[in-house]
Copies of this chain bind each other. A is one copy, B any other.
Amino acid sequence: MKELKHLHLDIPKSDKKRVIIIGGGFAGIQVAKGLKNKGFQVVMLDRHNYHTFQPLLYQVATAGLEPDSIAGALRPLFENYKDFYFRMARVTGIDTENSKIKTLVGELRYDLLVIANGSKTNYFGDQEMYKRTFPMKQLPQALDLRSHMLQNFEQSVMSPDPDEQDRLTNFVVVGGGPTGVEVSGALGELKKHVLPNDYPDLDFKIMNLHLVDAGPRLLAGMSEKSGDKACKYLKQFDVDVRLNTRLESYDGKTVKLTDGTIIPAKTVIWAAGVKGNIIDGLPESMIERGRILVDEHNLVKGTDNVYAIGDIGFMKTESTPNGHPMVAQVAMQQGVRLAKNLILQGKNKAMVPFAYRDKGSMATIGRNRAVVDLPKLHFGGLFAWMVWMFIHLISIIGFRNRLVVFSNWVWNYFTYDRGTRLIIRTFLRNDRYRPGDTI
């Protein structure tokens, strides 16, 4: 990454305390909102100019929704904020000694730092998997997977080799968490209801879907009942679920599983785990399991003005020895709490410790099927699916896209259609349409 010397991170001086927020995700947005016009100068940095509603990312990857339905530009969220600055810049280092951060466009001093830059795909150090599999954590990755998948089908109708056809139409999903389960369900729906209309000359029996998880059940973060139901629903969508199984090797053409199974597949989706986006400069002592150790106020251990919230923060307490789950709910609640705490601190009042209020969790598995865990209630099926839809629709408030998402879903439901089956590949200047041009 080369430094961009012609640009500078130049924020006007202010007599207010400067809060730098790294990351405009679920956590960072809540902090900024909570601090709106409360006597702080707030600077938010993100390498993207938009926020992604990640729970629906799999719908972009499977041609159900367009990117703008699940992502929104960050700047419009903060219109009319006083002394607020957004900068699209990647933070490359943190210097807690001198209270400043480093970016490719220069350094910036802070009075208070909020690290809220979330998590990234965890390949557990496996370079081969990093190179050959499809991650599902960012919008461009989901778009890439969508185009790749559709291009595979376009190629398979032109392939004279049954083995190659097999490889092109098989999908292996690694990881049975919500992302793995939801993307498998959506692929099952595509196989059953959508793709056969598009490719009448293909026999869809050759399209095989496999979901592999190292653990003994799916959706480890949810109730056992929900995990079992998800497994049952996936089987209804022709997904071969293999528990207690790992991916042993993958060369881009053939998957080997630890149970000895060999699957020819050109598409492996890697949803096996995430890890914190650790930025250089924090001492090793502050980091555990790829996350930043914080106390119950999200204050980073060993500092007095650095906070870490959301996926990146590891609040290791007696009641949460493994920290909180890396989900949007925790991130949002920590953001809200931290903003209030910083305001309390400014008034020399005591901070309130963070207490997670688990509102429940859910996952959808294709058409008409979902599982929902509420604190005292677990249920599945059609009603769960309707709850899932309703909750997700109201959750993307703030994006203006509820109407668009809703009309897409209604359309998809009644027509068994998927609207966005476009193969839009890389546009490279001077080398115009890369893959679109090659066939």
Does A7 count as interface, using CB distance less than 8 angstroms?
Answer: yes
A134 closest partner in B (C-beta): B429
Q: With a CB–CB cut-off of 8 A, which chain B residues contact A415?
A: 400
CA distance A400 to B161 in the complex (A): 36
Does A178 count as interface, using CB distance less than 8 angstroms?
Answer: no
Q: Is the CB of B423 within 8 A of A426?
A: no
Q: Is the CB of B1 within 8 A of A438?
A: yes
Q: Which residue in B141, B400, B424 is a CB contact (below 8 Å) of A139?
A: B424
A160 closest partner in B (C-beta): B8
Say how many copies of this protein the assembly contains. 2
CA distance A426 to B429 in the complex (A): 10
Q: Give per-residue flags for A1-22: 1 if the beta carbon is below 8 A from chain B beta carbons, else 0.
A: 1101011111000000000000
Chain B nearest CB, measured from A111 CB (Å): 20
Q: Is the CB of A401 within 8 A of B419?
A: yes
Residues of chain A in range 53-70 having any CB-CB distance to chain B below 8 Å: 66-69
Chain B nearest CB, measured from A404 CB (Å): 6
Chain B nearest CB, measured from A10 CB (Å): 6
Binds B, one of A151-159, A288-296, A319-327, A382-390: A151-159
Does A231 count as interface, using CB distance less than 8 angstroms?
Answer: no
Chain B nearest CB, measured from A250 CB (Å): 14
Chain A interface, number of residues (Cβ within 8 angstroms): 76
Q: With a CB–CB cut-off of 8 A, which chain B residues contact A162?
A: none
Chain B nearest CB, measured from A50 CB (Å): 5
Does A376 count as interface, using CB distance less than 8 angstroms?
Answer: no
Does A318 count as interface, using CB distance less than 8 angstroms?
Answer: no
Chain B nearest CB, measured from A429 CB (Å): 7
Q: Which residue in B157, B164, B429 is a CB contact (below 8 Å) of A6?
A: B164
Residue with the greatest number of chain B CB neighbours at <10 A, chosen from A9, A73, A151, A201: A73
CA distance A197 to B76 in the complex (A): 7
Q: Is the CB of A158 within 8 A of B424?
A: no
Q: Is the CB of A85 within 8 A of B7?
A: no
CA distance A383 to B197 in the complex (A): 42
Chain B nearest CB, measured from A276 CB (Å): 17
Residues of chain A in range 381-429 having any CB-CB distance to chain B below 8 Å: 400-401, 403-404, 407-408, 411, 415, 417, 419-429
Q: Is the CB of B161 within 8 A of A6?
A: yes
CA distance A436 to B71 in the complex (A): 15
Q: With a CB–CB cut-off of 8 A, which chain B residues contact A89?
A: 158, 439
A422-B49 CB under 8 A given contacts A87-B158, A400-B411, A407-B407: yes
Does A131 count as interface, using CB distance less than 8 angstroms?
Answer: yes
The 5 residue pairs across chains A and B that have the minimum distance between CB atoms = A140-B427, A73-B421, A88-B154, A75-B198, A7-B158
The contact sample of 6 A-B pairs, CB cut-off 8 A, is: A4-B438, A49-B423, A75-B421, A90-B438, A105-B439, A144-B429
Q: Report A's interface with B, CB cutoff 8 A.
A: 1-2, 4, 6-10, 47-50, 66-69, 71, 73, 75-76, 79, 85, 87-90, 104-105, 131, 138-141, 143-144, 150-151, 154-155, 157-161, 164, 197-201, 400-401, 403-404, 407-408, 411, 415, 417, 419-430, 433, 436-439
